[in-house]
Amino acid sequence: MDLGDKVAIVTGAARGIGYACAQRFAREGARVMLADIDEKAGAEAASVIRDAGGDAQFVACDVSDRLGVHNLIAATLESHERIDVLINNAAIVHSEDFLDLSETAFERVMKVNLTGAFITGQAAARAMKRQFEDDQRQGVIINMSSVNAEVAIPDQVPYVVAKGGLNQLTRVMAVALAKYGIRVNAIGPGSVSTGMLRAVNADDAGRARLMSRTPMGRVGSPDEIAGVAAFLASDDASYITGECIYADGGRLALNLTVEG
Active-site annotation holds for 246: no
Q: What is the DSSP letter of 181?
A: T
Active-site annotation holds for 239: no
Pick the closest to residue 140 from 77, 79, 186 (CA basis): 186
DSSP symbols for 90-112: --------GGG--HHHHHHHHII
The answer to whether 96 and 160 have CB atoms below 8 angstroms apart is no
- Residues 87-112: b if buried by 16+ CB within 10 A, e if exposed: bbbbbbbbeeeeeebeeeebeebbbb
In angstroms, the CA 227 to CA 172 distance is 24
200, 201, 211, 228 from 142: Cα distances, Å: 25, 27, 28, 10
Which residue among 111, 159, 191, 246 is the active-site one?
Answer: 159
Active-site annotation holds for 146: yes
In angstroms, the CA 23 to CA 50 distance is 10
How, if at all, do strands 139-144 and 31-36 pair?
unpaired
Residue type, position 71, single letter: N
Which residue among 145, 146, 191, 246 is the active-site one?
Answer: 146
Which residue among 19, 163, 191, 246 is the active-site one?
Answer: 163
Active site positions, annotated? 146, 159, 163
